[in-house]
Structures are given as structure tokens and as C-alpha cells.
A and B are shown apart, each in its own frame.
Chain A
Amino acid sequence: MTQDADRKLILPSYRRDDVDAHPPLLSPGYRSTVARAPHQPLVYLPQRLTEVTGPLLGEGRLGELDHDLTRQHDGEPLGQRIIVHGRVLDGDGRAVPHTLVEIWQANAAGRYRHAADTWPAPLDPNFTGVGRALTDSDGRYHFVTVQPGAYPWRNHDNAWRPAHIHFSLFGRAFTQRLVTQMYFPGDPLFSQDPIFNSVRDERARQRMVARYDHRTTRPEWALAYEFDIVLRGREATVFEDEDDDE
């Protein structure tokens, strides 16, 4: 270990201000939470080296067409072509650059290319439904895909999931790790979806809904949606101390 015994370790600290944004683990309307949510309260863990660092996964993981889900096969997938783009930010509005964004989704008919998805909607031989991208230095990412369909599930009587795209984000530190879902504006299925509504705060729910972005559409080619993702911010005081040291 190379630590100078006289020098205090000064670590960044991430604000724990997301408690109200996230859904309660036990949300009985979403039946699968009932046997899976812990009964014991979470134990408070001060953020130490393991929590304020995290995997910085780079270019080596990306193929040239990983961001374009419409060009991963010989032919084009069926469905409405869309551009999905946005920024990954922290709670202070700082860009999160060069961070891996992973997405997965159902095809235009609402079917996932997965052995466990067996409802009778067609698979599309030209659509896998997986994308990866790295944000640029301004935290921007960009995908091309097709509008996913809604699909039924067996949570409650005649239950349908609103159309969504799964997003997985690493940020810069273990404590910022986030998996979420992006929804589409005005979806009539929101009101009956216990996963969307597991987020109790209406404003927080709306932060999972992309914005239709006419300016980014490509004429005679694709519609566009903008979806910014906000990860935890850092405690300002500690951050400034750290700057002073440099």
C-alpha cells in the first residue's frame, strides 16, 4: 500500500438525494416485488474507496454498429425508425463523458428476442434489440432504432407494458450505477402500469418519459426523441476541497 500515513484520503462524496426519485423496493402492484424485496431496512454504508470508484469501460467494448439497431442484420427491421439521443448528466448538471450506455428493447411488434418471451407476436429476423454507445465529451449519446411495441404480461388482468427502452448506465462511480426504462410521451398505458407507477413522485415519473424532438428528426427518414439521464451529483464542498489539492 502506497498511502502516506500523514495524508488524509480525500474522497469525492455523492449526494444521497435520490431516495424519493427511486421506487420503493416493495411495490405490491408489481407482483414480483412481493417475494423479492428485502424485509430488513437497508444498512447505511458510508461511501469509501470502493463506492466512489467504478468501472470505466471503454471503447474496446463497442462495435462500429452497436449504436444503430437498424443496421445489425442483412435487412432493415420493420417498424417506425426513431433516433433516441440525449445527455448523461450528474445532479449538478455536469456532463458524464465517455461512459457506457447499454440499451435493450422489444421489436416493433412488442416481442423480445429472448427464449422466455413466448407471447404470439412475430420475431423480426432483422432485429436483435440491443445497443451500446459511449457518451462523448459533452455526455451525449445517440442511438438509431425502431419504436418498440407494447406487450402483454401476466401481472394483473389484461396487463400491458407501455412501450419502453431499457437503459443501463455506469456513470463514474459505483454509487452512480443506474438501470432504468425510457418511456414515450402520452402513452395511454401509463395509468395501468405498476412498474411506471412504482415511482411515487409524479415529477420523477415524468423524468423517465422522453421528449418528442422534432428538430432532430431526419426528414423522410426518422422521428426523434430526446432523453436526458441524470445520475447522482457530488457534494459540492468535498469536490472543491479536491480541486484545491490539485
Chain B
Amino acid sequence: MSEPLGLTPAQTVGPYLHIGLNWPDGAYVVPDGTPGAFWLRGRIVDGTGAAVVDAMVESWQADPDGCFDHPDDPRGARPSAVPGFRGFGRAATDSEGRYALHTVMPGPLPTFDGDTEAPHLTLSVFGRGLLHRLVTRVYFPGEAANATDPVLRTVDQERRDTLLARPAPDGFQFDIRLQGEHETVFFAV
């Protein structure tokens, strides 16, 4: 194989990200009315505690059966049993730094070394002042598999709760603290 090509660097989405990245149906990982669907809501704050009003989150997740409709899923790509399941969502923050995604609970996943990953979503955070996206994961409270999840296990005990959503009236709440006290765990993927 020839010498690898140099990669294109990341740059911030800047304050006008909404022009290019807002989709009318962005928040809908699953369509409105999908049985079992819930809202994942959260607020993004910076190191001073101020709301981050010019950011966007993107989510990616397995379907409720733990499947990805993707050719690199070695178990085989297959369309989800949930009609209209996109697996992907994107939502910009509002004037109070809040985002919301409409989705369903992902299934657990097998790993290459025989473990099981607890149900989770992965989130990218883009924003003014973020020169590259930040990546985090959302886990759900009360899942027995959280105790043995191979990713949660690698995170310091005292920071692990930053990756756990909290129950909310219409689903779950997952706040993101970019910096400082209770800083959300971000991953190098």
C-alpha cells in the first residue's frame, strides 16, 4: 500500500451552523408516533455555566434489536424492524442551550472480544468554539448491563455518572458540561 494521504483537519462549525446543518426532521431518529419512542433532552453549558446556544448534537445508535443497517456490521446489514428508523439524529441548541432528539431505546451490542455493550447512543457535539467535534455516549439508568459495559468500565468511577441519562417526564435528560466541575466524559474514537 502506498504512503497514507494526509488527512483534512477539522474546523469549527462556527456560529452560523444552522444555515447548513439544520434539517426540519433532524431530531427524528424515529418518526413521530413510533411505539416506545421517547425524547432525549439536554442542555449544553460551558465552563462558566453559560448556556451554549450555538451548538448542535448528532446521535447515532443501534435499533432496539441491537442491529445496524450498515455493510460493516459483520452480522449483516438489515433494515430495522422499526419503520422509519434512521439511527441518526441531529438537533441544534436553542436560546437556552437545550436540544431534543426523538428516538427509541437501542438494544445491547456484542463486542469483538465476546463482551456485551449496554444500550447506548453515541453523541457528537459541534459548536462555535469547538475546533473539532466532541464525542460522548449516553447510557440509560437501571440497565443491568451498565455494570459490565466495557466502555463505562474504563471511565473513572467518579466521572461515570456524566454518561448516564436521567429519567424525565417524556423520556430522558442528558446534560452536557463542556468544561469544569462535573465535566462530561468525552472520548477519543
Per-residue 0/1 for B89-120: is the Cβ within 8 Å of any A Cβ (1 yes, 0 no)?
Answer: 00000000000000000011111101001001
Cβ of A17 < 8 Å from any Cβ of B? yes
Output the nearest chain B residue to A131 by Cβ-Cβ distance: B20
Residues of B within 8 A of A166 (CB): 11, 13-14, 17, 20
Within residues 4 to 30 of chain A, which ones have a CB less than 8 A from any CB in chain B? 8-12, 15-18, 21-25, 27, 30
Any A CB within 8 A of the CB of B166: no
* Cβ contacts under 8 Å, B154 to chain A: 43-45
In the complex, whether B31 has a CB less than 8 A from a CB of chain A is no
The 10 closest A-B pairs by CB, nearest first: A104-B20, A32-B129, A55-B88, A53-B70, A45-B187, A36-B129, A42-B188, A181-B11, A23-B131, A53-B68
Residue of B nearest to A32 (CB): B129
Residues of A near B151 (CB, < 8 A) are 45-46, 48
Q: 1/0 contact trace for A77-96 toward B, CB 8 Å?
A: 00000000000011111000
Q: Are B11 and A179 in contact (CB under 8 A)?
A: yes
**Residues in B whose Cβ lies below 8 Å from that of A108:** none
Q: When each residue 212-246 of chain A gets 1 if its CB lies under 8 Å from chain B and 0 otherwise, what string results?
A: 00000000000000000111110010000010010
Is the CB of B172 closer than 8 A to any CB of chain A? no
Main secondary structure of the interface of B (DSSP, over half): loop
Closest A residue to B131 by CB, please name it.
A23
- Determine whether B32 belongs to the interface, using a CB cutoff of 8 Å to chain A: no
B33 within 8 A of A: no
A150 is an interface residue with CB less than 8 A from chain B: no
Number of A-B contacts (CB under 8 A): 253
- A-B contact list, 23 entries, CB within 8 Å: A2-B76, A21-B7, A33-B131, A35-B48, A37-B178, A39-B180, A43-B185, A48-B151, A50-B60, A50-B122, A53-B70, A114-B15, A114-B16, A116-B16, A129-B19, A130-B19, A166-B13, A177-B58, A198-B11, A199-B9, A204-B7, A236-B1, A242-B74
Interface size class of A (residues with CB under 8 A): 35 or more
A137 at the interface (CB under 8 A from B): no
Interchain CA distance A35-B127 in the complex, whole Å: 12
Chain A CB within 8 A of B175 CB: no
Instruction: Determine, out of A139-147, A168-176, A184-192, the stretch whose residues face the partner at the interface.
Output: A168-176
Q: Give bound CA distance, A51 to B60, whole Å.
A: 9
Q: How far is the CA of A9 from the CA of B116 in the complex (A)?
A: 12
Question: Do A89 and B5 touch across chains, with their CB atoms under 8 A apart?
Answer: yes
| Contact between A117 and B16, CB atoms less than 8 A apart | yes
Q: Answer yes or no: B18 CB below 8 A from chain A CBs.
A: yes
Q: How many angstroms between the C-alpha atoms of A48 and B48 in the bound complex?
A: 34
Alpha-carbon distance between A233 and B2 when the two chains are bound, in angstroms = 12
Residue from A55, A174, A245 whose CB has the most chain B CB atoms within 10 Å: A55
Q: Is B170 an interface residue (CB 8 A)?
A: no
A207 interface contact, C-beta 8 A: yes
Bound CA–CA A116/B128 (angstroms):
12
B residues less than 8 Å from A39 (CB atoms): 47, 179-180, 183
The interface residues of chain A lying within 8 Å CB-to-CB of B13 are: 166, 168, 179
B2 and A93 form a contact (CB under 8 A): yes
**Would you give the shortest CB distance from B9 to chain A, in whole angstroms?**
4
